[in-house]
Chain A
Amino acid sequence: MDTLQAILNSMLREAISPQTAAVAIAAIGLNIHFGFTGLLNIGQSGFMLLGAYGFAIAIGHDLPLIVGILIGFGAALVFALVLGAPTLKLRGDYLAIVTISAAEIIRYVGRSALLTDFTGAAQGLQGVSYRTPFTDLSFFGGGDATLSPFNYLDVAGGAGWVRLLGWLVAIATVAGIIALVRGATGAGVVARRTSVGALAVVFVFLLFFLMPANYQNTGVNGWWVRFVSWLLVAICMLTVFLLVRSPWGRLLRGIREDEDAIRSLGKNVFAIKMQALIIGGLFGALGGMIYVLPSSVQPDSMGRSLTFFCYTALLLGGAATIFGPVLGSILFYAARIMIKGVANAYIPDSIMNGQQTEQFSYIVVGVALMLIVIFRPQGILGNKRELRFNV
């Protein structure tokens, strides 16, 4: 039971970590590219790395925080323009080729010893050099805090049955949410939305009740950076919601379906695709900045695999949905930790040692991605009628 509790705790810690939020934001950007506009961008990590470098280098050279953020966004904007100008008039495949190579170029330039003064070459930039202005903004104060302060340890001394009961209720709330979303209850739209919202709140509370997390209030990797990054995730979701419900969003989906048809209706397809590429790229850059806040800027940790994590999160949650990328990244990271934790705890070292479980978890995730694409191409939240996996 204690092993299980430890695995559950680490799953929750991973699920709410700022890096998960960062990948969620990058996946939201990718959703604009791939899910709504049909642009096959395989270089989202390039946008993230540029955002991170712009942010970290500017602040490292004693520029104010806001200027650092703007420089990160500016770098991603220029990157999108440079990539999009030659390729967006061609067929989609070319954008894919160019973005993946360009992202690798960014990474190799970052690693290059010639730029050690700016990028720190392969060593990267230490978080200390750019984190301070951000942590100085914190109004959370010092010390540490546990979320939730009222948790299973407070009820009957954390007995097994409390946790079991808690989990049963948690599973029941998820089942209730699914039933409501699928419209099985026959309730009205307003009633359905309110009860889904209420159940979601109960579920989140139960998670923290069953798996309390303890962090410093401000610190290097504490509640402050978590609060800001998840707040930004919410803002990004709201922005995307506002964008895609508009006629502009309708144009994006039209372009995804058939560019020539949209062209024949008198729309400037190139300009719209460029706008989509830039906006998705800016989300990527924002994700990159958050990704490096609690750690350091390591070019090699933001390579191709990060792009593929974003894709996994996006496809898992459901492309062309608002909440899909976020749900996808939370589940992706939590599931990976679970696989790793279970393999560590229950498979003897003679069969699989600690290092191998790490690799094993990625293998399982890869297989899971394939299964999703084959058996549930629309992801968890996607509308099967609207969007099948479409390359």
Chain B
Amino acid sequence: MSESTMARSDLADPAARRALMAGVDTTPGSSKPDPILVVDNIVRQFGGMTAVDVGHLEVQRGIITALIGPNGAGKTTFFNLITGFDRPTSAKSGAHWSFDGATLDKTSASSVAKAGMVRTFQLTKALSRMTVMDNMMLGAQDQAGENLLKSVFKPLWRGQERAIEEKAKELLARFKLLEKKDDYAGSLSGGQRKLLEMARALMSDPRMIMLDEPMAGVNPALTQSLLGHIQSLRDEGTTVLFVEHDMHVVRHISDWVAVMAEGRLVAEGPADSVMSDTAVIDAYLGAHHDTDLGDDALLTDEVMEEIGQEVAAEQKDES
């Protein structure tokens, strides 16, 4: 970590974060005081199915924003779209998103990462047949030795290589992976791979880190330490956007929650208030979740009459 990000940001104080977000509307797509990521009109269709249709979303700098929603809500697709791993269907009709003031509409996944927005994957992508250390070293940006012409001459990159190695060791120590540094990444457990992937993403000193289900498949003890890592990232000034299913996790660490359902952004707000939002409850549990469809009492005479009329009307149409 560089010195600037090492310094605890003002937003390390929970009260400061609450004060910052207090004035923000809790409507979907509300504007934030200092957005780092602004997304407009992103639509992604797979054939006739619209997976993502987000009109406007802003992500506040320096806090943890959670992106939640039921299965198939389009969270991961949305991640892929803004990190350049997928192209919006609306690419030519007004899709626009910018990170830290720079427009990202047409940039590739690698340029998005170079701009300072690094992501992890739902299914971890540890490079199994490389050592943990090599995995980490790949994360560093602007390596002279990655230039084909310079790579042959070791003196041109030896110094930088050492600096990167030191940094990688620091990060590994922080994620408690240092003693594994010479093991192949494929020999790590699922949870350790999640840690490794997060540590590797941090090698590039990102300004914003996007975690796709960081807790999926991780045991409860490791979840605690992962949560701690995510919070300390935020405290050091990195913006965090993460997708998660687990409501306890979301409630525990997020400063702001955005909810997606059927591809749309349906609600936004602090964790406590958004959980009681009817749109969110509907999205997760269905609009009729408190109606007992097995209750015979619902089938009153009027209802039976209505049904009878409908059936008769249909039969008339057919004949």
Contact = CB atoms under 8 A, between A and B. Distances in A.
Interface of A: 239, 242-243, 245-251, 253-254, 256-258, 260-269, 272, 275, 279, 385-387
B106 to A, nearest CB: 15
A391 to B, nearest CB: 14
B18 interface: no
Nearest to A276: B148
**Which among A242, A243, A267, A387 has the greatest number of chain B C-beta atoms within 10 A?**
A267
A260 B148 contact: no
B112 to A, nearest CB: 8
B232 interface: no
Given A247-B146, A254-B130, A386-B129, A262 B83 contact: no
Nearest to B135: A254
Given A248-B146, A253-B130, A253-B134, A266 B141 contact: yes
Nearest to B137: A250
Interface of B: 83, 85, 108-114, 118-121, 125-130, 134, 137-139, 141, 143-148, 151-152, 154, 157, 161, 184, 200-201, 203-204
Contact of B83 (A251, A264, A385, A386): A264
B152 A268 contact: no
A36 to B, nearest CB: 12
Contacts of B109: 260, 263-264
5 contacts: A247-B143, A254-B138, A260-B121, A260-B125, A279-B148
Contacts of A249: 151
A260 B85 contact: yes
Nearest to A390: B129
Contacts of B113: 263-266
B270 to A, nearest CB: 30
Given A260-B125, A264-B113, A248 B147 contact: yes
Given A246-B152, A260-B121, A265-B204, A251 B138 contact: yes
Contacts of A262: 138
Given A247-B146, A248-B151, A251-B146, A261 B121 contact: yes
Contacts of A253: 127, 129-130, 134
A239 B109 CA distance: 31
Contact of B157 (A247, A251, A267, A268): A247
A256 B134 CA distance: 13
B212 to A, nearest CB: 10
Nearest to B138: A254
B118 A265 contact: yes
Contacts of A266: 110-114, 118, 141, 204
Contacts of A279: 148
Contact of B152 (A243, A254, A256, A272): A243
Contacts of A248: 145-148, 151
Given A239-B152, A248-B147, 7 more contacts: A249-B151, A250-B137, A254-B134, A265-B113, A265-B138, A266-B110, A266-B141
Contacts of B137: 247, 250
Contacts of B128: 257
Nearest to A238: B152
A43 to B, nearest CB: 22
Contacts of B118: 264-266
Contact of A264 (B121, B129, B145, B154): B121
A265 B130 contact: no
B146 A264 contact: no
A194 to B, nearest CB: 22
Given A254-B138, A261-B121, A267 B146 contact: yes
Contacts of A387: 129
- With most chain A CB atoms within 10 A of its CB, the pick from B85, B125, B147 is B125
A250 B134 contact: yes
A267 B110 contact: yes
A258 B121 CA distance: 12
A262 B134 CA distance: 12
A88 to B, nearest CB: 13
Contacts of B129: 253, 256-257, 385-387
B151 A261 contact: no
A265 B130 CA distance: 16
B5 to A, nearest CB: 17
Contacts of B204: 265-266
Contacts of A256: 129
A385 B185 CA distance: 11
A387 B147 CA distance: 25
